Structure 1
Amino acid sequence: MLTEGFVNAPIVAGEELQGLPGFWAAHLMWLSETAEYDPVPEWFGVDGADADAALDALTDEDRWPLFRIPFGGGHTANVLGVNFPDDPGTEYFITHPDWGRHGRLAGLGGHHAGPGLSWRELHHIARTPDLTAPGTHAEHARLLLLLPVLGDRDLPEDATDTVGDALTSTGLPAVEARSLAEALLADHPLWEPAEWELASASPLSGGREPFQGILHCDEPLSPRFGTHLARGITREQSDRLAHALGTWPTT
């Protein structure tokens, strides 16, 4: 079983779909739409037929593609096409063999929820593949697979360069990649950018110390608003997750 929690769903490994010429256009074109730009497949160096073929594969009701992004400590970030006939979407979540349930990051579709990752987390996951686990290991592909759930009010100055370099690694010329990266990091079509902060003790928690190192999101639409990233895990498991996400306090 590729992942648990989706009973009788026709889940298949999706990594090979990244080899389709129109894959990145199908995956990201909607995200690059801004008030000034109406995206077209040619932005990604492909034509409409290539993008349509990739989109058909990504939204196949009989084959739900799962993209696995394994990172530190045995954790895996997952991107799953949930291709229900009447309510298709994409679910983003983290799994670990020792957890009893998923850590939901975000959902795209009719009932969207996000953002799911800060830039700090996204960048760290992209750069720390677990080469012993199945899935996508190339840094540029890992970054772009998870980019749709980014929502961060405090992007670093080099964020556009980082995304541009990732796009260049897919085959785009540098000039086009830079412009596309700017569009991808502009206003998200589904949610507002969020503030991400380490949690502090709340009066509502009875004075209990929060789990250290896990960022909390201030955007109410996010599954990570006011809650742990993964419910039901122990403090020790949360500590390992924080280290794997690159958010464990250094001082």
Structure 2
Amino acid sequence: MALAVRIPEYLEDCELVASEDLAVEPAFWLAHLLLTMGDPSEDPERYGVDASVYEEMVERLGDPEEPWPVLRVPFDGGHTAYVVYANFEDVNNVDFFVRHPEWGRLGYLGQCGADDARPGLSWAELAVLAEAAQNSGEGLIDRSQRLLLLLPMLGDAEMPREARHTVAQALIRCGLRTDTADELATILVGEQEPVGGSRWTVTSDSPIAVCSSYYSPRRVPLALGITPGQTQALANALNGRR
């Protein structure tokens, strides 16, 4: 039986269920990425996923009659990134946020869906979160799974040259076809940020970087309103500093 997840600061009157078990299924990764970053109507068999299995996964992730799937990425300092498939009767969103049990609030990274709000992570932050696995007994530990789960929040005008290869390798390790992984990685990140795209800067107001994109929740520091010590701890965790 799936474990219920409680997030006191999140929406009321919704039932959440831990869904990290989905991470073993290549159909989940393809559905997650195409629903949030690509074209969900693409032929899944191009990437090594049976069409009927893919369609079943898409329905499972968007079923408003079932508890909402939650996947977690614990990282340094007791922080956790959450991904929630928020399925209302009339709209489906995927919410991304960061939480610490001592904050009393959430730090919103963004949302994919009807009211798209992103980016929520720079490439450097995404890479840190992928690597900073915490064996807390819950959430994803595998770095490829962590990278792909949070990938929809990526937006960065200064992507490193190796980004596409890194994503392609993660796709392969998560069970998608080797011979089309580079093609899919190109769709996902190869040309996502043109010149003049999202820039990340640290200002004198906070040690946490803010984003230049008009639609990013991170135009203000993440988890605005937490204490200075909590802010520094979050900044350290996002930057891989201890």
Structure 2 length-normalised TM = 0.90
Q: What displacement does 1:172 show?
A: 2.9
Give the deviation of 1:170 after TM superposition.
Answer: 1.3
- The gaps in structure 2 that reach 5 residues or longer are none
Secondary structure at the aligned position of 1:224 is classed as helix
1:78 maps to which of 77, 82, 105: 82
**1:122-201 paired onto structure 2 within 5 Å:** 122-188=126-192, 193-200=197-204
TM-score of the two chains, using structure 1 as the length reference? 0.87
Q: Which residue of 2 aligns with 1:96?
A: 100
Task: Tell me the matched-pair count.
Answer: 232
Aligned residue for 2:14? 9
Shift of 1:2: 2.9
SS at match of 2:53: helix
* Unaligned runs of at least 5 residues, structure 1: 201-209
1:7-46 matched pairs, under 5 angstroms:
7-30=12-35, 31-33=37-39, 39-46=42-49
Residue equivalent to 1:60: 63
1:86–1:32 CA distance, 2 compared to 1 (3 A):
closer
- The aligned residue for residue 49 of structure 1 is 52
**Deviations along 1:75-98, whole A, 9 cap, x unmatched?**
001000110011210100000011
Q: Is the 8 A contact 1:164 1:177 kept in 2?
A: yes
Pair 1:243-2:236 in alignment: yes
Compute the displacement of 1:20 (Å): 3.4
Aligned to 1:217: 211
Look up the SS of the partner of 1:185 in the other structure. helix
Deviations 1:87-114 (A, max 9, x none): 2101000000111100000011111111
Q: Is the 8 A contact 2:164 2:190 kept in 1?
A: no
Superposed displacement of residue 247, structure 1:
6.4
- Cα distance in 2 for partners of 1:23, 1:188 equals 22
CA deviations on 1:126-152 (whole Å, 9 max, x unpaired) are 000111241011000000000111111
Distance (Å, rounded) in 2 between the aligned partners of 1:171 and 1:158: 20
- Compute the RMSD of aligned alpha carbons: 2.0
Change (3 A) 1:3 1:49: same
Given that 2:26 and 2:174 are in contact with CA atoms closer than 8 Å, whether structure 1 keeps it comes out as no
Counterpart of 2:206 in 1: which secondary structure?
Answer: coil
> How many Å apart are 1:64 and its aligned residue?
0.2
Counterpart Cα distance in 2 of 1:182 and 1:162: 11
Identity score, percent: 38
The 8 Å contact of residues 20 and 54 in structure 1, kept in 2 or not, is answered as no
Q: 1:9 to 1:97 in 2, by over 3 A?
A: same
1-side partners of 2:235 and 2:26: how far apart? 36
Hey, what's the Cα distance between the residues in 1 that align with 2:118 and 2:152?
10
Q: Is the 8 A contact 1:29 1:41 kept in 2?
A: no
